Structure 1
Amino acid sequence: MFSKAIIIVAGARLALGFTPLETFYPPGLNDTSYISNSSIGTYGGVYQAPTREASTSAAYGTYDYCTMPHPRAQEYPLPGPVAKGTVKAKIVYLEYLQRHQRRTPYNILPGGENQAYNCDDFLPYLYGGASSGGPNPLPVYGKTYSDSSNPFLEGYVNGTCQFPQLTIGGFLDGVQHGEDLSAVYGDKLGLFPSSPDSGKVWFRSSESPLTQQSAGGVLRGVWPNYQGALPLHQQTSSVDTVNEGYSCSAISSTLSKIESTTEWSDHLSVTATLRSELATMLGASSSSWQDTFDHFSDNFQGRLCNGYALPCNVQNTSDCVSTAQADEVFRAGDWEWNYYWRANPYAQQYIQLVEGLFIGEILTHFQAVKNGKAGEMKYSHTFVHDGDIGPVLGALGINVLRWPAMGSNIAFEIWQTEDRNSTFYARVLYSGQPVETIHGTLDWLLLDDLIAILQPYVPTDIEALCDA
C-alpha cells in the first residue's frame, strides 16, 4: 500500500538516498515538474502511522507528515558557538509554536467513504464550571454515534468519529511531544519551571478543539505529576489573530490573484489526468476538490496517519486510490504550500494579511525580553494550525516549504551571553533542526537580526490593508 520511497532503511539514510534533513528541503519544489516526477515518490516523506499508538517509526529528523519531529534530548545540539565554547551563554526564553497532533480528516469524500472510522478510544471532554465557588461540574465527554433511521447517513461515513477530531494516536503523540520538550528545555537546559502555575509560562490556542485537546496532551507530557487546571488563552474567535479569525476581504482577493498566476495554472495542467481519475473514482468533481489539492491531501493523510487504507469507490471496492496516485497528491500539496507562502509574487502581502498580526505579537515578546520587561516569563507555547505555521516559516524565508505536518513546530530560542556585554542571540528550530533559509541557517544570530527578518511581515495598518 505504501511507496518504497517512504520505507526506513538501516543507517541515517532513507530510500532513494535522502537523509532525514534532505526530506525537508526538496530542491525542485519551486517547479511543477516536481509534481509529475513519479520517480521520487514522496521524496522521503512518511505518511503512515499506527492507529492506537504514538508514532515513532520514522528515523528522527525525517519529514513525517503524521508526526513531525520536535526537539528531543538524544539529538538536541547546543548552538554552534555555545557547543564549541567560543561563547558562554544561557537560554532565557522559548517561544514555541506547534500545529495540533494527528486527527481524522476535515473533508469527507462526496461519493461516500468505504471505511468506518472508530474513535471510541479517545474521550473529548466537554464541560465548564465556575472559577470559584459553586458545585463542581460533572465531567462529560462527547460520544459520537450513528442512528440507522437518519436518512443523511447514507453516502456519508459510519463510525464513532467527528470530522475532524483528535485521535488517540494524536493524543499519545502529544504526550510524547511534551515529554521530549521537558527533557530538553527542563532537564537539559533548566528553562522550564518545575510547576506550570507560575508567572513563567503562557499557553494559547485557537478556538478549535483540535488545538485545545493537543495542548492537554502535550502539557501533560511536560508536567506529568501536576494536579490542577491551567488557563489556555484564546482570543475571541471573530477577531483571533491566528487561524484566520478576523474578517479581511483582502485575504480572499489576494488568494485569487495567487491562484490566477501562470504557475498555478501550470500545476493544474500537469495534474489534469490525476484529478480526472480521482473525480471519477471518488465522486469528487466539484471545484472545492478540483481547484486545489487541499481536500484530497487532507482525506488521504487522515486515513494513512491513523492506520486506515487509501479510499476506494464505494460501488466498486476494487477501484481504489493507488500509492502512485497518493504520492502525486502529496507532491502537489507540497508544491501548493510552497507556492502560497514562498514562491508566488504576492507572498509578502499574503503573509501580512493572514499572519502579520500574530507575527507582531511574537516580536512584542522578543522586544520585552530584550528590554528586560518580560518579568519572569520564560516559556510561551501556542497551539495552532498548518495555516499559521506555514506563513511564519514563509516570513522566516525557509528555503522551500513542504506542507507543515501534524505536530510541526517552530522553536524560537533566545540566549543571553554571560559577559559584560550581555548580548541577546536567537536561533530558530523547525521541527527540531535549525531552519535553513535564504538568510542562512538560523542557528545563531543576533536577536535584532531575527527581529529585522520578521518585521517586514508585520502590517503597519491591517485595517487599511484589508480594505485595499
Structure 2
Amino acid sequence: MFSMGVSLITPASSTVAPEDTFYPPLDSISYITGGAGLSFSEKFTAPAEGPASMVSAAYDYCAMPHPHPDRYQPPLPVQNRSVEAQLVYVEYIQRHQRRTAYNILPGGEDQTYNCDNVHPYLYAEPAAGSPSSIEALAVYAQTYSDPTNPFIIDFVNGSCQYPQLTLGGILNGYQHGRDLWAVYGDSMKLLPSSPDTQKALPGLSCEGFLPNHREPLPLHQQPPGVDTVNQVISCQARSKLLAKIQSTDAWKEHLEVTRPLRARLARLFRANMTEWMSTFDHFADNFQARLCNGYRLPCSRSDPLSCVTEDEAEVFRAADWEWNYWWRQNQNASRYIQLTEGLFLKEIAERLKSTSQRTLGRVYTHSFVHDGDLGPVLGAMGIQRLRWPGMGSNMAFEVWKTNEHQFFVRVLYGGHPLRTVHGDLEWVPLPDIVTQLMVHVPDDIVSMCNDS
C-alpha cells in the first residue's frame, strides 16, 4: 500500500448513518459469513421492464447513486463561503447500467431471457460531406435460436445477446443522463446546451444528458487491441501477479470459509471448473444479472426443486471481499493497479493538469468503462473499503478554480465525496490529486508487462 500526504477538508462530523455509506467492514474474512447486516434482497433487486429507483444515496448494486439535482451541493468551502470558486472542469467515469449476464451457468439456464423490448441498432453510413449519397438503413439485432440446434440445452433460450443492456438498464441510463444535465448543465452552468463535436466529449451517448442536441455525435473509441481500459492489452506480468495475489494465505482462507457454498453451487450447476470455483466473479455476475432484471435466483436443471436461496447471499459478500482484496488489501495492490489501469490513470492525470494550465480546450469528459476499471481507479485514490462497483457506478473529478486562481479537486463516488485512507476527498489541491494518480502510473509499462 502507499501513503501520501494530501490537504483535505472533511465534514465537521464523521458520523455517517448506515443508509448513507458505501463502506461496510470488509477487512476481515468474517465479513463473508459473520452476518454483516447486508440484506441482498434490498440491494440486488430491480423490476424486469422498468427503471430501478435511483433516489437512494446508499449502495445499490442494480442502480448505484450518482450526482443528483436533489442532493448535489458544492464543496464545503464553497458552501460555507470560506472561499469563492467556480467549477471549471469535470472528469466523469461511469460503468454501464443494468444488463444481462456475461456468465451463463455451465449446466444451462432454467429461465428464458427476453430482450424483445430492446432494439440494439447496428448500422453504418458515409460521413456528412462524403461524395456518396447512400443513406443507411437502420437495422437492429434480433436474436433467435434454431430449435434443431442441440447445444441450446446447455445454454439459455431467449431473445438476448449476452451481455446486452436490458430495457431497465436503458431507462436508468436515460435518467442518469438527465440528472447529470440537471446538475452540471442547468444548475452549475458548466455545460453548453449543445456540445461542440469538434472538441469531442467522449462517451456522451445518453440522450438524457443532451436534451437540446439532435445531430449525430461521435462516440470516441480506442482500438480494441490497445485500449487503455478493460484489460485488453496483453500483459504477462499482470496475469502472473494476479496468480500470486490469489495464492496468499488470506485468499486461501477466503476459499476455505466459502468451500461449502462453492461445493453446493458446483453440484447444482455442473460448475466444478476453475473459472467458476477460483473466485465468485462468475456466480455473482450471473445472480446479479437475474435479480437486477426481475428474474429469480436459479434452480438446478436436473433437480428443479434445488434452488439458490436468499440465505446464500454469501455469494455477493464473498465477491465484495474479493474486490476489496484485489484493489486495496493485498500487499501488491499498487503494482497490480499499475499493470491494470496505469495508462488510463495517466490520461486522467494529464487532463486534470491541462485544465489548470488552460490547455485542455474542454469542460467535460465522460468515459464509459467497466467495473474492472473503476475498481483500480478507486484503489489508486485510496478508497477505505471497496465493494463491487454496481451498475451505473460513477466517479467525478470536479476541478474548481478560486478567485485567487488556485485549482482544487473534489472527487465524488456515487455523488458522495470519496472516503479514503487520506480522508474525504472534498477539497484537495489539484497537484496533490495528480501526484496521487501518478503513483500508479508505470514508468515503462511495456517493459513491466514483458517482465516474466
TM-score, length basis structure 1? 0.90
Question: Aligned residue for 2:409?
Answer: 426
Structure 1 residue ranges (4+ consecutive) displaced by more than 6 angstroms after TM superposition = none
Query: Following TM superposition, by how much is the alpha carbon of 1:127 offset from its aligned partner in structure 2, in angstroms?
Result: 0.7
Question: Aligned residue for 1:387?
Answer: 372
Decide which of 329, 340, 347 is 1:361's aligned counterpart. Answer: 347
Equivalent residue of 1:232, what SS?
coil
**Which whole-Å deviations, capped at 9, do the CAs of 1:371-405 have from their partners, x for residues lacking one?**
11112x00000001000000000000000000011
- Are the equivalent residues in 1 in contact too, given 2:93–2:394 (CA < 8 A)? yes
Q: How does 1:387-466 map to 2 (within 5 A)?
A: 387-418=372-403, 421-466=404-449
Query: Following TM superposition, by how much is the alpha carbon of 1:235 offset from its aligned partner in structure 2, in angstroms?
Result: 1.0
Decide which of 325, 331, 334 is 1:348's aligned counterpart. Answer: 334
Would you say 1:160 and 2:146 are equivalent positions?
A: no
Aligned-residue Cα RMSD (Å) equals 1.5
Q: Gaps (5+ residues) in structure 2?
A: 1-15
Would you say 1:117 and 2:113 are equivalent positions?
A: yes
Query: Following TM superposition, by how much is the alpha carbon of 1:306 offset from its aligned partner in structure 2, in angstroms?
Result: 0.2
- Are the equivalent residues in 2 in contact too, given 1:426–1:445 (CA < 8 A)? yes
Query: Following TM superposition, by how much is the alpha carbon of 1:167 offset from its aligned partner in structure 2, in angstroms?
Result: 0.6
Query: Following TM superposition, by how much is the alpha carbon of 1:120 offset from its aligned partner in structure 2, in angstroms?
Result: 0.4
Decide which of 329, 333, 340 is 2:319's aligned counterpart. Answer: 333
User: Percent identity over the alignment?
Assistant: 51
Query: Following TM superposition, by how much is the alpha carbon of 1:441 offset from its aligned partner in structure 2, in angstroms?
Result: 0.1
Equivalent residue of 1:184, what SS?
helix
Partner Cα separation in structure 1 for residue 357 and residue 36 of structure 2? 52
- Are the equivalent residues in 1 in contact too, given 2:297–2:307 (CA < 8 A)? yes
Amino acid at match of 2:24: P
Decide which of 94, 100, 104 is 2:96's aligned counterpart. Answer: 100
Would you say 1:67 and 2:53 are equivalent positions?
A: no
Question: Aligned residue for 1:282?
Answer: 269
**Which whole-Å deviations, capped at 9, do the CAs of 1:42-82 have from their partners, x for residues lacking one?**
489610001111111x6521101011000001001110000
Amino acid at match of 1:393: L
- Are the equivalent residues in 1 in contact too, given 2:107–2:270 (CA < 8 A)? yes
**Which whole-Å deviations, capped at 9, do the CAs of 1:161-188 have from their partners, x for residues lacking one?**
1111111110000000000000000011
Question: Aligned residue for 1:259?
Answer: 246
Partner Cα separation in structure 2 for residue 126 and residue 199 of structure 1? 24
Decide which of 38, 41, 66 is 2:38's aligned counterpart. Answer: 41
Query: Following TM superposition, by how much is the alpha carbon of 1:19 offset from its aligned partner in structure 2, in angstroms?
Result: 2.5
Partner Cα separation in structure 2 for residue 117 and residue 18 of structure 1? 38
Partner Cα separation in structure 1 for residue 147 and residue 324 of structure 2? 44
Would you say 1:130 and 2:155 are equivalent positions?
A: no
- Are the equivalent residues in 1 in contact too, given 2:103–2:282 (CA < 8 A)? yes
Amino acid at match of 1:63: Y
Query: Following TM superposition, by how much is the alpha carbon of 1:230 offset from its aligned partner in structure 2, in angstroms?
Result: 0.8
- Are the equivalent residues in 2 in contact too, given 1:201–1:379 (CA < 8 A)? no
Partner Cα separation in structure 2 for residue 139 and residue 194 of structure 1? 27
Q: Cα gap change, 1:44/1:311 in structure 2, threshold over 3 Å: closer, same or farther? A: closer
Q: Cα gap change, 1:109/1:145 in structure 2, threshold over 3 Å: closer, same or farther? A: same
Count of aligned residue pairs for this structure pair? 433
Equivalent residue of 2:43, what SS?
coil
Q: Gaps (5+ residues) in structure 1?
A: 1-16, 205-214
Equivalent residue of 1:93, what SS?
strand
Partner Cα separation in structure 2 for residue 95 and residue 39 of structure 1? 34
Query: Following TM superposition, by how much is the alpha carbon of 1:275 offset from its aligned partner in structure 2, in angstroms?
Result: 0.3
Amino acid at match of 1:158: N
Q: How does 1:136-147 map to 2 (within 5 A)?
A: 136-147=135-146
Partner Cα separation in structure 2 for residue 397 and residue 288 of structure 1? 29
Decide which of 78, 87, 98 is 1:91's aligned counterpart. Answer: 87
- Are the equivalent residues in 2 in contact too, given 1:38–1:328 (CA < 8 A)? no
**Which whole-Å deviations, capped at 9, do the CAs of 1:4-24 have from their partners, x for residues lacking one?**
xxxxxxxxxxxxx963223x1
Question: Aligned residue for 2:171?
Answer: 172
